[in-house]
Structure 1
């Protein structure tokens, strides 16, 4: 049955990059190892790493709406920004390659890591394979200003250019995860299960904000979503997420007001900063690999899963609760962090 949210979303141009819903699977081995079955707690995984383009990942949901708008307006060049190992940059390059759009990446050395694998492997290698033009700048560079300057040059040369910010996390991009909320609700019906909490990492906030807006419009409320901040401290992440959720709701035609205490963000897993490994993250990545045979990345899902593990071990869920962990992809980043895992 089509919801009002479906109707609102259908008014926006969208390019199908997912080719159907991503699966949800029960993490039965993890449930066993963590003693969750005895507690009556269910743990499920939303496989947003399970996409066909560019190695997959959550940024594709945001790009569906950005690229939809780009194609509708005749854009021939997309410029985006991010850190050196940006998953969003990699997927933007992949989508542009598939659609025959020129792609330029303005990347900054925002993480103080200089290992050979970090510089040349992982997403950097894939950016090159997808044919993107890359420019790399020191930490602290205003990459958005660089992108706008380059866009102006290309427009002067007659090109039609779209500039995308970090992570594609705009109100328009967030609609990708509002749409994901509808997808999750449909899968709940199919699986015969209701999720009490949906858990995600929080970087540029678009994933959390989109899900929060979507569940709000499905009358589930924004607090069903919990995220772990991986880019900045908890308060900065919360302020960004509240504003983006509010803007996404407004874009969808809703007058709902988002209260700060309805946005649930945990800042315990950031560690020394964005992209910097923590022992809890390393343990979480290894546990997922050895218990379920699945890969999660060291920057986003690795830290978020570490936070969820802490909550599960501390008994923060009750018997009958079901938790959905969204695996947001980014696994090429594992190869950039070889020294972290093999030290």
Structure 2
């Protein structure tokens, strides 16, 4: 079935958007890694969304293009969001605010599994401060969204115009960024004369997975997407992804239908909790670095890449399969997880 990229492009054009990327991110083949006997003749490619530039790069910038478009359309002067201490979304929201002359309020919550000095003060936390954000560190047990609601009320009383960025940028409006990425991937695959049998992504707040699937659905692409859950357990992640994909697809075309069986979520590499290191993640990060000189983060990409490697090693993909792994960035997180790698 031919792609219907015109339909997708026209649907995306209906929403305000601020360009934050330098252009399409490259698709590169992992040539040395693909030659390993354990990869059973599969061709592994990466979509380099770690190379998005602003603020240290990462997938959240695609979501922020549409969220910032909405914020500026509403004449906002302050961006408010929340996440964990090592939130990539918080870091990039701060960078985007700095680029556009907006104030930024970040609400950061402690981790249930890591309390070491590197985690609490290095990586993304260091960069939040450099970008000039006002950082609110919550005590354990304080609810971030309730704190955010109170903060927004105070800002409005001061005459500010706050705009709340959703957790991970992963509202249906934010997920439009990855519907746009779906179109970008299809254009690039056509130019490379490639057909990807599977696209693999980490699934945290589900916006990246949902946006890609909504975009592929509207473009009538047969490419399957697998998301490796790193935040919620498999069933909860599946339910969230299904609902968010439906909502995003509705924004694009209220008449479009989603086939529920297209949602593919694998929770086998989450580990004990969100952000908890796993042996498979450590091995995957080291393998990608040592064979290809590429760095992926320990919370999202490392676990999803570990899942991809395990699936290939189990023989789930026929020899010659073209597999595309979306590198979502989050590199500063490596420095927050130094003790896990030593």
Looking at structure 2, the residues matched to 237 and 307 of structure 1 have their Cα atoms a distance apart, in angstroms, of 16
Query: 1:89-128 alignment to 2 at 5 Å?
Result: 89-128=90-129
Which segment drifts farther, 108-117 or 286-295? 108-117
Looking at structure 1, the residues matched to 146 and 266 of structure 2 have their Cα atoms a distance apart, in angstroms, of 31
Per the alignment, residue 18 of structure 2 pairs with 15
Per the alignment, residue 321 of structure 2 pairs with 321
Looking at structure 2, the residues matched to 98 and 175 of structure 1 have their Cα atoms a distance apart, in angstroms, of 21
Looking at structure 2, the residues matched to 74 and 149 of structure 1 have their Cα atoms a distance apart, in angstroms, of 21
Looking at structure 2, the residues matched to 263 and 87 of structure 1 have their Cα atoms a distance apart, in angstroms, of 25
Following superposition, the deviation at residue 35 of structure 1 comes to 4.6
Is the CA contact (8 Å cut-off) linking 1:34 and 1:313 kept in structure 2? no
Is the CA contact (8 Å cut-off) linking 1:17 and 1:53 kept in structure 2? yes
SS in 2 for 1:54: helix
TM-score (normalised: structure 1): 0.96
Following superposition, the deviation at residue 261 of structure 1 comes to 2.5
Is the CA contact (8 Å cut-off) linking 1:47 and 1:327 kept in structure 2? yes
Query: 1:64-103 alignment to 2 at 5 Å?
Result: 64-103=65-104
Looking at structure 1, the residues matched to 62 and 37 of structure 2 have their Cα atoms a distance apart, in angstroms, of 31
Is the CA contact (8 Å cut-off) linking 2:113 and 2:273 kept in structure 1? no
Q: What CA deviation, in whole Å up to 9, does each residue of 1:157-215 have, x standing for no partner?
A: 11111011210100000000000000000000111111010000000000000000000
Is the CA contact (8 Å cut-off) linking 2:34 and 2:41 kept in structure 1? no
Looking at structure 2, the residues matched to 232 and 8 of structure 1 have their Cα atoms a distance apart, in angstroms, of 30
Looking at structure 2, the residues matched to 228 and 139 of structure 1 have their Cα atoms a distance apart, in angstroms, of 27
SS in 1 for 2:18: coil
Matched, 1:225 2:231: no
Is the CA contact (8 Å cut-off) linking 2:54 and 2:95 kept in structure 1? yes
**RMSD (Å) for aligned C-alpha atoms:** 1.3
Per the alignment, residue 304 of structure 2 pairs with 304
Per the alignment, residue 203 of structure 1 pairs with 204
Query: 1:1-343 alignment to 2 at 5 Å?
Result: 3-36=6-39, 39-221=40-222, 224-342=224-342
SS in 2 for 1:3: helix
Unaligned ranges ≥5, structure 2 = none
Following superposition, the deviation at residue 51 of structure 1 comes to 1.4
Following superposition, the deviation at residue 145 of structure 1 comes to 1.4
Is the CA contact (8 Å cut-off) linking 1:25 and 1:44 kept in structure 2? yes
Following superposition, the deviation at residue 156 of structure 1 comes to 1.5
Is the CA contact (8 Å cut-off) linking 2:217 and 2:258 kept in structure 1? no
Which segment drifts farther, 52-61 or 317-326? 317-326
Q: Which runs of 4+ in 1 moved over 6 A?
A: none
Looking at structure 2, the residues matched to 33 and 341 of structure 1 have their Cα atoms a distance apart, in angstroms, of 23
TM-score (normalised: structure 2): 0.97
Following superposition, the deviation at residue 34 of structure 1 comes to 4.2
Q: What CA deviation, in whole Å up to 9, does each residue of 1:276-331 have, x standing for no partner?
A: 00000000000000000000000000000000000011111113321000000001
Is the CA contact (8 Å cut-off) linking 2:5 and 2:219 kept in structure 1? no
SS in 2 for 1:254: coil
Following superposition, the deviation at residue 141 of structure 1 comes to 2.4
